[in-house]
Structure 1
Amino acid sequence: MDYLNCRYFSVPFLFLLLCFPSSATGDLRSDKQLLLAFVDAVHHPRKLNWNTNTSICSSWIGVTCTADQTHVLALRLPGAGLSGPIPANTLGKLEALEVLSLRSNHLTGNLPADIISLPSLQNLNLQHNNLSGDIPASLSLGLTSLDLSYNSFTGEIPLGIQNLSQLSVLNLQNNSLSGPIPDLKLLRLKHLNMSYNHLNGSIPFSLQKFSNDSFLGNPQLCGPPLPQCSAVLPSPSPFSPSLSLPPAPSENHKKNSGKNASAGFIIAIVVGGLALLLLLLMVLFICIIRRKGGEGTGGLKKKGSTVEKPKEEYSSGVQMAEKNKLVFFEGCAYNFDLEDLLRASAEVLGKGSYGTAYKAVLEDGTAVVVKRLKEVVVGKREFEQQMEIIGRVGQHPKLVPLRAYFYSKDEKLLVYDYVPTGSFSTLLHGLSD
């Protein structure tokens, strides 16, 4: 009888399993809708391949799922050209999200509180944007890395950071934060930067172990490792009883003092006049020498000025972010920035007259070829024009296309697709090894 009861009970139970989708599938479908709501709310000039008909875990750029493919684990979209405010109730609803990297974009507005307080969040990288407002007070206790640098955040540093016992990296530099620094007694904190804000007061004892580079650009901040705070002493009262007034001078003393003052005044006038005359002679002598030197070396100065490279000045964190960006060509599906490229493992492929080629493997496993140019002295505008020409030529089916480039005064990089096997001759003639 017990056997029959078990057998008949299993039939409706199996029916329920077949008729209703699993909770895992439902969770992944929910994450997919949240990501689509996020990307629909922000502007992105370069198209993401987020298609509702493709697999979110294996096809979507920047998305990493959990091992069982039931939730979104990480979202990395650095330098993707995203602009506008981050919508609330989208990314902050991804229950299993551990890594969020939206750095080097053009995001604006306030940081939604539901993102930074997401219980599962461990790494939040939002540097090099234009986010503003206060940093939300409610923070995820699981955060190990928090980077909000090069934005426009205001207000005070939230006291909730004191409770982040797992935090090892905290970057808040180049914002407009004000007020005192909280006493962060965080044993795991290894990297700290609060420079170039409007912080004031003395640096807490728990943070004095960090170098002065962590606190520069805060004029009202003091204490080790910065200069000591100066003690402000009250000025003495003009009627202090401890001070005694000198006796009034006599008439004879006044006359003698007047004569001495007159003689000293005349001597001071004579000495001052001689010093002024000597100064004028020295200035005249220097002007004559410079004029003669300028006539003799004018040709060299003019010739040298044509070789001198123009100086590039950057006066804000936003401009510095633009300076450090890779420039991608239209149609490129890569999703990384210069910071990712510099962290990649590199292997030398070959050296040529214009530089060295490396195979770079990024954190997500993407492999590219990076050519580092050497001894190439050229202006930024001319370099960009040459890159556009190379980019158009690279669209030929027999050539490996140029995908991106980077320009700075001291560094110039070219990024190509990585072809795992074969050689240039093989690609050109279609031969097999």
Structure 2
Amino acid sequence: MGMLPHKNRHKSMLLILAVGLLLLLAEAEAADLDSQRAALLTLRSSVGGRTLFWNATNQSPCNWAGVQCDHNRVVELHLPGVALSGQIPTGIFSNLTHLRTLSLRFNALTGSLPSDLASCVNLRNLYIQRNLLSGQIPDFLFTLPDMVRLNMGFNNFSGPISTSFNNFTRLKTLFLENNHLSGSIPQFKAFTLDQFNVSNNVLNGSVPVNLQTFSQDSFLGNSLCGRPLSLCPGTATDASSPFSADDGNIKNKNKNKLSGGAIAGIVIGSVVGLLLLVFLLIFLCRNKSSKNTSAVDVATIKHPESELPHDKSISDLENNGNGYSTTSAAAAAAAAVAVSKVEANGNGNTAAAVGAKKLVFFGNAARAFDLEDLLRASAEVLGKGTFGTAYKAVLESGPVVAVKRLKDVTITEKEFREKIEAVGAIDHQSLVPLRAYYFSRDEKLLVYDYMSMGSLSALLHGNKGAGRTPLNWEMRSGIALGAAKGIEYLHSQGPNVSHGNIKSSNILLTKSYDARVSDFGLAQLVGPSSTPNRVAGYRAPEVTDARKVSQKADVYSFGVLLLELLTGKAPTHALLNEEGVDLPRWVQSVVREEWTSEVFDLELLRYQNVEEEMVQLLQLAVDCAAQYPDKRPSMSEVVRSIEELRRSSLKENQDQIQHDHNDIEL
């Protein structure tokens, strides 16, 4: 019995020690949180920022915007596009040692990275692109063993690309483009990259073999050679080709020995090749002449027919052409009758008119109807646009097409045919294809594929009530990419080829919300009275004649389109007109004075984890809508930027899912 008090005392001492240890841990954790809080406040006072309205009286920084914690430890710091400026002082990150993700992209930070960033040994993702950081890539960066995503693009870093990058064994993304890096690209043997870009530096030498799977875009703007670029000087053939000189001695022995059979084979092959070339030229000439024939044969064509969204009135369409809508049966019939009468030259003899003029189809388009079928079709007004009125035509034989009735065409028939045939020859998956046209003195008709989901304008500014499908980030960024690819393809047809009338009502959508650019090439067909005025908000400030729009002016219009996509506000928004500013200037004023999120469409703010990508696309839009043409990017650069941010969004989401999965397993 005498032992019981001793045991009780022993248990009591253990309990006291345990409580004391817990209190010490709690105090240490509180002190650790205080030091992290102090570090973040020091960062705010050093580099500022519009969004760093952190409550200094709030003891926990885990509730601050852009800060994410795990067990009261700051593990992620996201501050993209918040107007940080100046140099980050040393001593901040030594108190944020649990950081796994640091995002400071799209700011104006200068100088070099602080050396105490080496204290963040758990850092996996570092996004510092589009700042003004300079100096060599610091060696301490290579002491961070868990690095997975590293984006240092669009800064002023100089010096060589160190072989110490091989210290990273988990690296998957490495972006170093648009810096001043020099020397050669080292061999990366310790890791396998999913994403890589060193374009627009001052690098030289050959592309390492294990990086030759990336596209040319990853290396352009340097003095590099080798796949995927041009062969290096002195290289006779591609070393990876099955025809390379691996057995040089054998080839050298036999290269001057041609048998009689080989010579005969060469002669016969040359003769056969010449005959094939002659037959090919004859075939092409006959095919070209048949392409422009005005004969129309009835054939079978499958074309989807869908219901039209009834989200806008006819008066709205007549005023702004924002989307697809239907007219009454009487109005549709009147439109069809009006077209018929014009085609009959006022005498009611439609058949005679059809006999004189016929639809001209492009390429191998199925000829499922003729002009008379088109005139008999039930018509619905889709909207009045810059170049004329568009109709949905449902033919008796089944196909559904869109017909644009042009107005104010002032050029001759010969000029019209030359220009419209050039438009019809353009074929790309992100463009609405022109299938056929009709030309007479009094009437000019264009026939397109019908896009069942209507225009982006109608989707953005149409019905906001119940039953509306909100446009989420994936849909909007996908639409932006599709439209950009369509415009990029147009620009690739020649330095003087442009769209001339880019706006949201000319971006049509398929059932899967893929973007298709319409109305390209029509600005060259109409007179100045039909050209859009500056009030529309899309026209670049340097454009005085909308028939002469440069590619850089197209980029400006696309920038306004991106802003419209992100803000949900049309360039003709009443509030903007009252304030007397255009959409780009309104966005810049809000971003300059308030938190960047104020400019975004409320529908977009519902979706989490895409804030950085939204800010990145917003910055790209502002760059496109720069006042001076030489400050604007090319459409190829725009496409690459949108593709990068969509890939980045996907990768970050996948990493987050994997991280959450690992946490669950632990």
Map residues 240-319 of structure 1 onto 2, 5 A cutoff. Answer: 305-307=544-546, 308=548, 311=552
In structure 1, what is the equivalent of residue 575 of structure 2?
Answer: none
Which of these residues, 363, 372, 379, is aligned with residue 609 of structure 2? 363
Pair 1:141–1:40, CA change in 2 (3 A): same
The aligned residue for residue 154 of structure 1 is 158
Q: SS where residue 224 of structure 2 aligns?
A: strand
Alignment equivalent of 2:179, drawn from 172, 175, 191: 175
2:226 matches 1:223:
yes
CA distance in 1 between counterparts of 2:69 and 2:598 reads 18
- Match of 1:127, SS state, is coil
| CA drift at 1:329 | 5.0
- SS of 1:155's equivalent in the other structure is strand
Equivalent position of 1:24 in the other structure: 29
Moved more, 26-35 or 99-108: 26-35
How far apart in 1 are the matches of 2:201 and 2:73? Answer: 38
1:88-237 matches, cutoff 5 A? 88-115=90-117, 118-138=120-140, 139=142, 140-218=144-222, 220-231=223-234
Q: TM-score if structure 1 supplies the norm length?
A: 0.56
Partner of 2:44: 39
Q: Is the 8 A contact 2:136 2:159 kept in 1?
A: yes
Q: 1:13 to 1:72 in 2, by over 3 A?
A: same
Which structure's residues are more often strand, by fraction? 1
Amino acid at match of 1:363: N
Structure 2 portions without partners, runs of 5+:
236-526, 532-543, 556-583, 619-624, 628-633, 640-666
Alpha carbons of 1:186 and 1:12: their partners in 2 closer, same or farther (altered >3 Å)?
Answer: closer
Partner of 1:431: none
Q: Using a 3 Å threshold, how does the CA distance of structure 1 residues 198 and 12 change in structure 2: closer, same or farther?
A: same
Instruction: Report the structure, 1 or 2, having the larger helix content.
Output: 2
What TM-score do you get using the length of structure 2 for normalisation? 0.38
Structure 1 residue 104, shift from structure 2 partner: 0.5
Q: Give the superposed CA RMSD.
A: 4.1
Indicate conservation of the 8 Å contact 2:37/2:61, yes or no.
Answer: no
SS of the aligned residue for 1:75 comes to strand
User: Secondary structure of the equivalent of 1:100?
Assistant: strand
Residues 116 and 301 of structure 1: CA distance in aligned 2, closer, same or farther (over 3 Å):
farther
Displacement of 1:18:
7.6
Identity, % of aligned positions: 34
Give the structure 2 partner of residue 254 of structure 1. none
10 and 179 in structure 1: CA distance in 2 versus 1, 3 angstrom threshold: same
Alpha-carbon shift at residue 334 of structure 1 (Å): 5.3
Structure 2 counterpart of 1:306, one-letter code: D
By how many angstroms is 1:72 displaced?
0.1
State the distance in 2 between where 1:76 and 1:164 align: 23
Q: Residues 303 and 18 of structure 1: is their aligned pair in 2 closer, same or farther, counting only changes over 3 Å?
A: closer
CA distance in 1, matches of 2:68, 2:156: 29
C-alpha displacement of 1:52: 2.5
| d(CA) in 2 for partners of 1:131, 1:335 | 25
Q: Distance in 2 between matches of 1:143 and 1:14?
A: 38
Do the aligned partners of 1:77 and 1:335 also contact (CA within 8 Å) in 2? Answer: no
1-side partners of 2:90 and 2:154: how far apart? 22
Task: Provide the C-alpha distance between the structure 2 equivalents of 1:332 and 1:148, rounded to a whole number of angstroms.
Answer: 27
The CA deviation at 1:303 is 9.9
Q: Which amino acid aligns with 1:199?
A: L
Residue deviations 1:140-185, cap 9 Å, x none?
A: 1101000000000000112221121111110000000001111012
The 5 Å alignment of 1:330-341 reads: 332-333=594-595
Kept in 2, the 8 Å contact 1:169–1:191? The answer is yes
Distance 1:147 1:117, change over 3 A: farther
Residues 396-411 of structure 1 aligned to structure 2 (within 5 Å) = none
CA contact (8 A) 1:80 1:335 kept: no
Give the number of equivalent residue pairs.
283
User: Residue type of the partner of 2:69?
Assistant: C
Q: Taking structure 1 as reference, are residues 312 and 158 closer, same or farther at Cα in structure 2, changes over 3 Å only?
A: farther
Q: Which residue of 2 aligns with 1:243?
A: none
1:206 is paired with a residue whose SS is helix
Which whole-Å CA distance do the structure 2 matches of 1:331 and 1:25 have between them? 35
The amino acid across from 2:35 in the alignment is: S
Q: Partner amino acid for 1:160? A: S
Give the deviation of 1:19 after TM superposition: 6.2
Counterparts of 1:103 and 1:196 in 2: how far apart (Å)?
19
Task: Map 1:29-108; keep pairs closer than 5 Å.
Answer: 29-44=34-49, 46=50, 48-66=52-70, 68=71, 70-108=72-110
Q: How many Å separate the matches in 2 of 1:117 and 1:170?
A: 21
Query: Residue type of the partner of 1:197?
Result: N
Query: Which is higher, the Rg of structure 1 or of structure 2?
Result: 1
| Contact 1:99–1:121 (Cα < 8 Å) also in 2 | yes
